[in-house]
A and B are shown apart, each in its own frame.
Chain A
Amino acid sequence: MALDGATAVATGPVAPGGAERVPRGERAAWPPAPRLGRSMPASLEDADLVQRCRCGDQEAWRALVQRHAPLVHGVVRGAFRLQGHDAEDVFQEVFARVYLRLGSVRDAAALRAWIAQIARNASLDWLRRDGGGPHGNETDDLAFEEPLGRLEDALIVRDALARLPEHQQEILDRFFARDESYQTISAALGLPAGTIASRISRALGSLRVQLGDELGR
């Protein structure tokens, strides 16, 4: 997957700071009046979620946010290194832009790339408004190509993780992403402390298999 949203959206004027496009002539229909919906199955494809969001299904929107939050978080904090309130503000700004522009998505299967592009542009806009970031010269988008490439790799790993049984996802996320100790994991999950290492090892084995499938090896 390339973090390039150019194929995902309809034509329209280019928004300041980036290539994602705003639809014309759709303002009356979008966003729709919100309505409550039932909880979303995790197996729903992005295209299904987008369709439901377009019908005003709030639960579909919630599921979409939940699914793509690690991506947006990864772009904002991992690649552009925004911190604290800045990171939170841009995170909210990205999802506001996504929500307002969902009506312009032509290829919903490429939603992730489109959201990544919006997150990238929102982060750059923020840095420009903020005078170039912490070091004053960080508004050259080429400077972020390398971290965005690493993020792309990381998302492959995250996708593989998402296909593991939930208990394996949980233990790997706690140990590797949240840097929790065996003791903390044991207490949080109600598992004997002496079994944590072997559970992590088994989950890692499963993840290697998933990654092998993902990469065709």
Chain B
Amino acid sequence: MTAPPSVLMNMEDVEDDPLAFDLALAQALAMTAMPPQAWIEAAAMLPSTLGDLDAVDRLVSLPSFREAFENDPESALSGAGLPASKAVVTALRERLLAG
């Protein structure tokens, strides 16, 4: 039988040492705490933000834009009239790598 994972091993000792269980629990929950709500909201808005990618895809075919993007992604996007958000910059990098 496979040994239980380490954090959970502490929890096996609950009968003898309830404090060990509580400490292990606190460690586990802290390690998987929810991030700030603003982070979640920003990630949840990705479908709307990435709607701009149709336009970005057209730009990717332009050598001048690719060069500008490699030098300064945010300025290149702003110059092209696109939002220079982290999501769009990341998505464009993905497109360039995949292309």
Contacts and interface: CB of A to CB of B under 8 A. Distances in A.
Contacts, number: 150
Give chain A's interface secondary structure class: helix
Contacts of B40: 65-66, 69
A71 B40 CA distance: 12
Contacts of A99: 46-47, 50
Contacts of A88: 39
The size bracket of the interface on A is 35 or more
B6 to A, nearest CB: 6
A214 B27 CA distance: 18
Given A16-B97, A211-B11, A150 B6 contact: yes
A158 B44 contact: no
Interface residues of B, number: 40
Interface stretch (B30-38, B62-70, B73-81): B30-38
A58 B47 contact: yes
24 contacts: A13-B98, A27-B95, A31-B47, A33-B51, A70-B34, A77-B35, A91-B35, A96-B46, A96-B86, A96-B94, A99-B47, A151-B31, A151-B32, A153-B8, A155-B32, A156-B5, A156-B8, A157-B32, A173-B33, A176-B29, A176-B30, A177-B32, A179-B26, A204-B25
